[in-house]
């Protein structure tokens, strides 16, 4: 069920008290994962107006997912419906000790990038 970044995202949502569900699916015939509307892995209900569609990825793939999502025509329809969209990238960083120095222990860090209709209009 889902990739490790997706499982991290679900855990993040649970910790915040949000409702979330996986909407990507495995296409057996094509041998690939398919995102809802070409760019959404999770739908999150976070108490804000409109559903939040989330593309989950590794930290190193955030830029590629931004490019992919901005090129997806169905994202405009999603955003015009009053829904929101964000890309969540997970990467490991060194933890900080109480004295401000870096620890040897790595922790997962979440980077969130929200894309809006203004971002799509800027491309035109």
Contacts of 94 (CB under 8 A, 6+ apart): 102, 103, 104, 105, 106, 107
Residues (pLDDT < 50) of the chain are: 1
Q: What is the CATH number of domain 4-123?
A: 3.40.1350
Distance CA 90, CA 49 (A): 25
Using left for φ > 0, alpha for ψ between -120 and 50, and beta otherwise, residue 31 falls in left
Using left for φ > 0, alpha for ψ between -120 and 50, and beta otherwise, residue 91 falls in beta
What's the confidence (pLDDT) of residue 1?
A: 43
What's the confidence (pLDDT) of residue 40?
A: 97
Give me the residue spans of the domains in the chain: 4-123
What's the confidence (pLDDT) of residue 93?
A: 86
Q: Is the dihedral of CA 122, 120, 20, 59 positive or negative?
A: negative
What's the confidence (pLDDT) of residue 49?
A: 95
What's the confidence (pLDDT) of residue 124?
A: 63
Q: What is the pLDDT of residues 85-114, one digit of tens each?
A: 999 999 998 888 888 787 778 889 999 999
């Amino acid at each position: 069920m889902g990739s490790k970044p997706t499982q991290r995202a679900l855990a993040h949502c649970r910790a915040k008290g949000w409702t979330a569900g996986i909407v990507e699916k495995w296409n057996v015939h094509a041998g690939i994962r398919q995102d809802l509307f070409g760019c959404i892995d999770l739908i999150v209900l976070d108490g804000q107006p409109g559903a939040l569609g989330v593309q989950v990825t590794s930290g190193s793939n955030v830029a590629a997912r931004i490019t992919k999502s901005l090129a997806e025509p169905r994202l405009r329809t999603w955003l015009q419906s009053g829904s929101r969209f964000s890309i969540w990238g997970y990467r490991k960083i060194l933890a900080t000790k109480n004295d401000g120095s870096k620890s040897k222990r790595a922790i997962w860090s979440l980077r969130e990038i929200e894309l809006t209709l203004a971002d799509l209009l800027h491309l035109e």
